[in-house]
């Protein structure tokens, strides 16, 4: 069975550019969450989507946006990139959008902003 897949695995951008990261959840999982993991720190919650609706948003600026498609895959968009956006972006899927649900994480997209 395929786990959570993310693409691309690595990405290099320059300041001011825009980036789109993609995530395919485990088959049957309808909830997708995005986390940002800065080197040496724990993941920080960005967004959660369930059934194509935003169910939660972390403390991130409006430059960050996301959406979920009818097949439950998701995209995370970041506009006007800053150096501080350099991080590992993790996507996680779960059966339901409950805090006690087991989250399955992908291996992430490593974004470097130069």
Partner 1 sequence: QQQVKQSPQSLIVQKGGISIINCAYENTAFDYFPWYQQFPGKGPALLIAIRPDVSEKKEGRFTISFNKSAKQFSLHIMDSQPGDSATYFCAASIGTSGSRLTFGEGTQLTVNP
| Shortest distance in whole angstroms from residue 76 CB to partner 1 | 14
CA distance 51 to 69: 8
Is position 105 an interface residue for partner 1 (rule: CB under 8 A)? yes
Per DSSP, the three-state class of 84 is helix
Question: In residues, how long is the chain?
Answer: 114
- Beta bridge partners, 47, equal 34, 57
| Span of 11-19, 64-72, 77-85, 104-112 interacting with partner 1 by CB under 8 A | 104-112
| Shortest distance in whole angstroms from residue 106 CB to partner 1 | 5
CA distance 91 to 104: 8
- Beta bridge partners, 92, equal 33, 105
Looking only at residues 40 through 59 of this chain, which bind partner 1 when binding is defined by CB under 8 A? 40-45, 48, 50, 55-56, 58
Is position 22 an interface residue for partner 1 (rule: CB under 8 A)? no
Is position 25 an interface residue for partner 1 (rule: CB under 8 A)? no
Size of the site for partner 1 (CB under 8 A): 31
Choice from 27, 77, 107, 112 touching partner 1 (CB under 8 A): 107
CA distance 53 to 70: 11
Give residues with Cβ within 8 angstroms of 43, minimum separation 6. 35, 36, 37, 90
Where do contacts with partner 1 occur on this chain (CB under 8 A)? 4, 31, 33, 35, 40-45, 48, 50, 55-56, 58, 90, 92, 94, 96-108
């Amino acid at each position: 069975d395929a786990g959570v897949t993310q693409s691309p695995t690595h990405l290099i951008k320059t300041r001011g550019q825009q980036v789109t990261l993609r995530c395919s959840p485990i088959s049957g999982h309808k909830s997708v969450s995005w986390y940002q993991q800065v080197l040496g720190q724990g993941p920080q919650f960005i967004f959660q989507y369930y059934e194509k609706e935003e169910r939660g948003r972390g403390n991130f600026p409006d430059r960050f946006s996301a959406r979920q498609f009818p097949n439950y895959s998701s995209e995370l968009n970041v506009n006007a990139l800053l150096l501080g956006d350099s991080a590992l972006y993790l996507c996680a899927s779960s059966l339901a959008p409950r805090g006690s649900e087991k989250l399955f994480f992908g291996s992430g997209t490593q974004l470097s902003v130069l």
